[in-house]
Chains A and B, each alone.
Chain A
Amino acid sequence: MARRRACPALAMAAWLGFPAAGWAAEAPAHPVRVVSMNLCADELVLRLADREQVAAVTALADDPRGSTVAREATGLTVTRGLSEEIVALRPDLVVAGAFTTRTTVGLLKRIGFPLLELGVPNDFDGVRAQIRTVAAALGQDARGAAMVAAFDARLAEVVAAGKPLRALVMRPNAFTVAPGSLGDAILRAAGLVNVAAELGRDRFGQVPLEAAAFAEADLLILDEGEPGHPSLADALLHHPVFDALRRRGRTVSIPNRLWTCPGPQVADVVARLAAAARGRNAP
């Protein structure tokens, strides 16, 4: 069965002019046609690689609402992660997310493309490891080390809140930051207590509005950037209950794009949260 499945893949690789077997081993030290298939991969690849190394990024990368590398991504070829798009680009390194575009990744694996799959780290060590892994795959170890060093330096500057404040993160559709996730680690690093741990959440991390209202959070963490195109998910964060919570307690606005992905920008989120918490403590 496996052989039968491999045959079309081999035929395809041959047709494309690739030596199918052992292709990964022959890849040069510096890949020169890197294709990224995940927004979080885009962010690291665009920061660590030379621009000439990048063959394509995702269609999400140049949207300033969701991406932290929108400026760097302008003008680059974009894909939506479809197999045909990726194969046609003839990449010598594909960087994919462990949970996105699974069909394409499966095909690329069968054909034997050099592939790097990025997991979702849930602590700062995981972030450092992921930066180093991507940098090594790109042949840019020095940049990776520098990025990790800058990340640690930024974290070291952070003065955590004196008193552990209770924080509630609210994202569109009343999603929160689950305990044990990277977001939770960010809150802890800023000296905050994630009240989501006490709340009833569904298995996707959605908090009922009633539970959010009674959470007694000292700090409400929202993305209050410029309102984009309307959606019910965003409208929910302007429910009168949230408006009342905003008036009662302290709100800090952190753009969601800064902590969607593990990367050096995570240290900025820690710094902003800690500053907001200290501001709350001061009076």
Chain B
Amino acid sequence: MIWIDTLVQGILLGGLYALFAAGLSLMFGIMRLVNLAHGDLIVLAAYLLLVLVTMTGMHPFVAVLIAAPVMFAIGWGLQRVVLNRTLGKDILPPLLVTFGLSVVLQNALLEGFTADSRRIPAGPLETASLDLGVVTVGVMPLLTFLTAVGVIIGLNQIFYRTALGRAFRATSDDPVTASLMGINPGRVFAVATGLAMVVVTIAALYLGMRSNFDPSIGPARLIYAFEAVIIGGLGSLWGTLAGGVIIGVAQTFGAAINPEWQILAGHIAFVVVLLIRPRGLFPRAND
């Protein structure tokens, strides 16, 4: 019975990791850009939410509605001013620039908010739980998982049902021909990063409400997100959810055996999956 409980908790934790990963997956899928500052941007969004909640007393779910457009603008500007300059055949510039950005963000947040652990207050929601007969699950983890599913459905709708999604896919295929269709690739990429930052804000909401955070935790979130993306197969959002669930389940089982093994178990699951399926579980056909 305890194992079923562990399994369910792990699956729900996977929802959080899928949320971390969705933005990363989006940016890689469209621009082939791996953003090493992704985890730090999640932490930045968490602090933004914290400031909104503590200053105005509004509920975190309302604060997201204000923080998301702000993060969209940050992502848009970052892409237009900095990251678009790094795109090209050479993989070094985007890696090194986003790595530099990661260091800058961590230390700017450290300067602004100190190294103290913080948490976004969510009221009674924090402790509420739901009895499902076989297992009892926390409302917050359940909500996280459902949000992850919702975000992935939403992104897929944008991708495959809208003109913007067409522009994303076309520009990803061939930016030069896309520009002959009247599309400005730099602007499309900026919108993509803005959208990724909206997803980052949603991820930050749950990160901040579920556990403590401080300026230094970004890189670890980046690694979980990265593992989920790779396990799932590059470019597949449902695969990313599956990848997140695998990491989450591995972590809760590892922790059930020995609390010190939680993180290690997740990493080892990643390595094992990759050794068996080098291209992930659901690789895209034309990659």
A, B bound: no
Interface of A with B (CB < 8 Å)?
Answer: none
